[in-house]
Amino acid sequence: MIHNQEAGSFRDPAGNVIISNNRVFRTINEIARVDYETIRNKGILSKAIQQGYLISFEELDKSDWPIDTTDPAYIVEHPRIPYISYPYEWSFSQLKAAALHHLDFQLALLEDDVVLSDATAYNIQFIGSKPIFIDLLSLRPYREGEFWAGHRQFCEQFLNPLLLRTFNGICHNAWFRGTLEGISTTDLARLVPPSKKFSWNVLSHVILQAKLERGVVNNPDKLIKIAKSRSQLSKTAYYGLLSQMRKWISKLTPVDKGKTVWRDYAKTHTYTSKEAALKREFVKQFIVATKSKTLVDMGCNTGDYSVAALESGAEYVIGFDFDQQTIDLAFSRAVDQKLPFLPLFLDAANPSPNQGWRQAEREGFSGRTRADALVALAFEHHLALAKNIPIQQVIQWLVNIAPHGIIEFVPKSDSTVQKMLSLREDIFRDYNPETFELHLKALSKIVKKQIVSESGRCLFWYERHGAL
């Protein structure tokens, strides 16, 4: 049986995640046996799963272990997450939802005398619009008088990125992707507007914490004294700290609520409602014919075509878009309608790379993003024309994502493209439907094509020639 340790799980001595034949296992090492058994035997794990906080698992008999070893105390199996995403791919609303889920879980655990040993945002994943905590080994019994051990990490990976958008209108994604451990409190403190610095929450969790961090750099012994002084926090005070943080985060909203180019695109696009209906019907026919279960929707906007695919038999859709407000609207739609639809942030010209330790800790977009089917509607011209990426490369990149798909070609006669080219020289001699079709045919069979607008927008339904 082929198995590999998940590259991002190497840091925890308590256990590791193993991927074997598309199944997900977690080892529980001897060092974690007592804590695991204590929490399990009290029914706290099953309660957390039932309440929707913790991902489910099944404890395996040794005869069913995926590896031939006697080292772990236990091995459990988890259900596979449909798509692994990272905090730097989430919108403000998604990061906020993840933060609240983390805090709600902590509050529920503390009532049963259990805490989380850390507060990394990477321990949260989304299944559709629902956040779920995935690290079973982060749970341990509460110790009388202890301080919230994950406070600093929570601030760096949840609170500070949210405040960056709340106070400054700056999206967290690029910064978070560049540092992986979040936004330091020292850095954020420099960006807090003067009018916000003396609110109690900002003062206690940002300004004073930043001052403390700067002082510790100059006086490491001070850190030891502070750590000892924090060892006498009552359980009531611990609970109050978590509750106060939750109340604050629940009220945070982005300061940049103005209209963006793509936020209202679904309502103000350059094709008629009849043409939009043609596109939805084309997508529905495609899903029914291919029987595709997982779909990637590139340039998903607020999710109109993702929903059409779900209505036609798709079981899960991962959408990608560049506009933050659009993603928030799509996420809100998924939450309200309880859809198996996960919209994420993507700069398609600069997708997430393999990064972290040994450039393997966080897998890049291309390694994670595979599906049964793809739709890329009103998308390719943003790469080919706005980013000067050769149309052949755009097609190859898209077709590599899924064996079946729909790609819309937007011609130069379209008003959207004319606006894009109005302030620059038209250097795109190969950008035409004939060349597009030629390159697509080199990689796939064109099952069907349909013009859906007076300007000549055309949908191409492809079936790829094997793997690329």
Handedness of CA 183, 187, 193, 197 (dihedral sign): positive
Element (H, E) at 8: none
302 closest CA partner among 276, 281, 284, 282: 276
Helix (H, G, I), strand (E, B) or coil at 373: strand
The pLDDT confidence band at residue 467, using thresholds 50, 70 and 90, is confident
| Structure confidence at residue 110 as a pLDDT band (50, 70, 90) | very high
pLDDT in tens, 280-337: 999 999 999 999 999 999 999 999 999 999 999 999 999 999 999 999 999 999 999 9
Torsion of CA 375, 376, 378, 380, to 10 degrees: -160
Q: Which of 270-274, 337-341, 379-383 is the least confident region?
A: 270-274
Phi, psi of 25 (to 5 degrees): -120, 155
Distance between CA 249 and CA 253 in Å, rounded? 9
Q: CA 287 to CA 296: how far, in whole Å?
A: 12
Q: Which of 87, 34, 28, 83 is nearest to 57 (CA)?
A: 28
Question: What pLDDT was estimated at residue 268?
Answer: 47
* pLDDT (tens digit per residue) in 348-391: 999 999 999 999 999 999 999 999 999 999 999 999 999 999 99
Task: Say which residue, 381 or 11, is predicted with more confidence.
Answer: 381
User: Which pLDDT belongs to residue 256?
Assistant: 81
Average pLDDT over residues 397-408: 98
Domains and CATH numbers, the chain: 3-78 (no CATH), 89-250 (no CATH), 265-464 (3.40.50.150)
d(CA 461, CA 233) in angstroms, rounded, equals: 62
Q: Report the distance separating Cα 342 and Cα 130, nearest Å.
A: 9
Please tell me the distance from the alpha carbon of residue 468 to that of residue 464, in angstroms, as a whole number: 9
Report yes or no: 271 and 283 within 8 Å, Cβ to Cβ: no
Phi, psi of 353, rounded to the nearest 5 degrees: -90, 170
